Structure 1
Amino acid sequence: MQKAVTLDHIDRQILNHLQADGSLSISELADRLAMTPPPCWRRVRRLKDEGILKRQSWHLDPVALGLNVTIYASVKLATHDSDATTAFRTRIQTLPEVLECYVLLGNIDVLLKIVVPDMRYYEEFFYKKLSQLPSVREVTSSVVMSQVKNTGTLPLTHLSL
């Protein structure tokens, strides 16, 4: 397990601003923090070097792009040997419909978040791709009816000085 880093209040402010708007320039970020750009840039660089800031990206609206259906698929694997699970992990990486994949402890082995245009597409995806993945024994699909909350913003209130 990776050790949590210690961040001061300026680091936390930087992270909060960048989580809210990843397109901020260093100058804009420095202005919001009432500091000059060079020390702001050094702090952002350090946060990148420490692996806290992973990448900058835009969140796309799936519905605006015609991806109207979100499905959470619970997967049970037939076997848990190293070769089979490696093959499953490798193949799941190739499926663009799968946005997230988590290996779990408990009754379910894997949880997938999948987006598709419609249920007909998912049916074809299920039969031709998902159910054909190495070691897949059982898939239970749950279709999202409505979204109540969707954020990638991490809570930073627990971080100590």
Structure 2
Amino acid sequence: MMITLDTIDRRILSLLQTDGSLSVADLADRLGMTAPPCWRRVKRLKDQGILQRQVWIADPIALGLGTTIFATVKLATHDAQATSAFRDQVGVLPEVMECHILLGTIDVLLKIVVPDIKYYEAFFYDRLSQLPGVREVNSSVSMSEVKKSYTLPEITSPTAN
């Protein structure tokens, strides 16, 4: 269900996606409004599930996690039980930052963050390739990160152009 947002709601989302630590008072000040109506809007966005959670983004390099791997996975079968087993197992691997089930020739795309290639090698052989239903895994190492955004794009209706 698509929720209609006005200009102020969109500005709130933009500001909070850029800096989730803004207080309601700071947010209201940047929007040129008082804190109580701003707080009500933020609460409504939370209640509607648009604002889901507030997190701090850690620097992976500073934490010794400087290697990002994108792994594509082909599953042996596509029945509900096998797919569910794979999802359950991949969901508990802390190295897997993202898991996307795809349509097409590749079944799954994983974003994996590890300290180095040697760690990934062990992770691959001991855990990733052992997940239920995995037939084939192809891995690509990210050489550099060109863009990383946590702010969702503002999309207008295709008929608006």
On whether the aligned pair clears a TM of 0.5, the verdict is: yes
Counterparts of 2:148 and 2:63, CA distance in 1? 17
Match of 2:120 in 1: 122
Q: Which has the higher contact order (CA 8 A, sep 6+)?
A: 1
Match of 1:37 in 2: 35
TM-score by length of 2: 0.96
Matched residue SS, 2:64: coil
Match of 2:96 in 1: 98
Matched residue SS, 1:142: strand
Match of 2:154 in 1: 156
1:64 Cα deviation from its structure 2 partner? 1.0
Counterparts of 1:31 and 1:73, CA distance in 2? 44
Contact 2:18 2:150 in 1 (8 A): no
Stretches of 4+ moved more than 2 A in 1? 157-160
Contact 2:69 2:111 in 1 (8 A): yes
C-alpha RMSD of the superposition: 1.1
**CA-to-aligned-CA distance 1:107-152 (integer Å, 9 cap, x gap):** 0000000000000000000000000000000000000001100111
Letter in 1 for 2:100: Y
Matched residue SS, 1:112: strand
TM-score by length of 1: 0.96
Q: Among 48, 51, 58, which residue is 1:60 paired with?
A: 58
Counterparts of 2:35 and 2:55, CA distance in 1? 22
Aligned residues: 158
Counterparts of 1:117 and 1:30, CA distance in 2? 41
Match of 2:82 in 1: 84
1:157 Cα deviation from its structure 2 partner? 4.8
